[in-house]
Chain A
């Protein structure tokens, strides 16, 4: 995907989020650290522009809720800011790539320590498959079938597919 493909996909997802939720009342956008944060910011910019409102934006680091940190080192944790009490709100979690689903599971756990949302939805730029948990995205930038040995990189210049060396 090129940079402009990504821009268009974000625009479309912003519309889909608004359509699904009949506007943006009670909607809170939360980017997952670290890949989802920039994407969440762009989504919020688009939603605010379309609706002429201010949608709350947060970020969430779910590292400490992961199920695999006995298997790999955890070297740092990024900041979490949840701007409003999520109780009764519609939380849209945003990440760059959806793969096994384990990060999202950890994030679902983490968000509940702040309150009980009315609903949680998931927006990702790339769904690359290989799910290991019963988790599916609500809003997808692009479905990108991959092999496990491949690596997906989402950045401001677009989406790249590479081999893990």
Chain B
């Protein structure tokens, strides 16, 4: 793959890059299964986890990934930081960078924040989720999980269902899955879709029953209750009835179709509680694969020296 400084969006990757990262992820899954799941690949490197928004799984996942590669991690929680004293994002980033950081994993509520941060530091930036915009490592974990079960994703159909308007996961996965040759269908009421989907590589439907029997992946999004201030759905019960993966709908899925969810789940809102425990629901695998995927991303950004390949081929 090409040398990569930052991973901000799934748009940064082409299909070859994605496949390279997923292949590398397979190696790191093996590392994670060893008795001592640790390799010295990023020894001497420091990864800062800078989280301006609540997160358990992404944060812990990156910390575990960095640890398995022998990198040091520096946790930075906004709740306990000088941000509360009025320090600006720029000053925060420059302060952290001054401590000799190789990589910053940034979670920020503002869409586009990592693009600004990139200008203020020499460190590599990984977007750990910015507002409603992008969450590329989640998408890579999902692509890896889907590929493990379905093989080649070319021509596969994936329905992304629910609160698309507020979802960075939906945006990243729309790009990711379509780059891998899959057909992406957004399923949501009009009130939960963005104002415009022009240029997006997706089809749109407002009727889950229309597609439920023909899809290979049913990807449920978390209803972002904390971002609902404009009554997008009448009641959560009605939403569940119309757009949730109910037991009845799950029964109509093809036998080999996967049920996915980025977590954390609202059981009985976007997905019936019992459906989430079915064998074709791969939700916990998405989480465990997330660690290996993040190892691959961290290694490619700050450990692989892929830049030397380009230098060498430039010389030759």
| Chain A interface (Cβ < 8 Å from any Cβ of B) | 61, 64-65, 69-77, 79-80, 85, 109-110, 112-115
Contacts and interface: CB of A to CB of B under 8 A. Distances in A.
B293 to A, nearest CB: 15
B41 interface: yes
A73 B314 CA distance: 14
B35 A73 contact: no
A70 B303 CA distance: 7
B23 A75 contact: no
A69 B39 contact: no
A79 B20 CA distance: 14
Interface in B259-316: 303-309, 312
B108 to A, nearest CB: 31
Contacts of B38: 113
Most chain A CB atoms below 10 A, which of B34, B37, B307: B34
Nearest to A78: B27
B30 interface: yes
Interface string B17-45: 00010011001001100111111110000
Given A113-B35, A113-B36, A69 B303 contact: yes
Contacts of B37: 113
A65 B36 contact: no
Q: Which 10 A-B pairs have the closest CB atoms?
A: A113-B36, A73-B308, A64-B39, A64-B41, A73-B309, A77-B27, A73-B305, A113-B34, A74-B304, A73-B306
Nearest to A67: B40
Most chain B CB atoms below 10 A, which of A75, A80, A85, A109: A75
Chain B's interface size range is 20 to 34
11 contacts: A69-B41, A69-B304, A73-B309, A74-B305, A75-B304, A75-B306, A79-B27, A79-B30, A113-B36, A113-B39, A114-B34
Interface in B199-224: none
B27 A69 contact: no
Nearest to B23: A76
Contacts of A72: 305, 308
A115 B39 CA distance: 14
B27 A80 contact: yes
A71 B306 CA distance: 11
A64 B40 contact: yes
A112 to B, nearest CB: 7
A75 to B, nearest CB: 6
Contacts of A109: 40
Nearest to A86: B35
A115 B20 CA distance: 29
Contacts of B41: 64, 69
A139 B309 CA distance: 35
A80 B309 CA distance: 24
Contacts of A61: 27
Contacts of A64: 31, 39-41
A13 B306 CA distance: 38
A69 B305 contact: yes
Given A64-B40, A115-B35, A75 B24 contact: no
A141 B19 CA distance: 39
A80 B30 contact: yes
A77 B23 CA distance: 9
A70 B305 contact: yes
A27 to B, nearest CB: 20
Nearest to A115: B35
Nearest to B304: A74
Given A64-B40, A76-B20, 7 more contacts: A61-B27, A64-B31, A69-B303, A72-B308, A73-B307, A75-B304, A109-B40
Given A112-B36, A113-B34, A114-B35, A75 B303 contact: no
A35 B222 CA distance: 48
Contacts of A70: 305
A148 to B, nearest CB: 19
Contacts of A74: 303-305
Given A113-B35, A114-B35, A75 B40 contact: no
A76 B38 CA distance: 18
Contacts of B20: 76
B309 A75 contact: yes
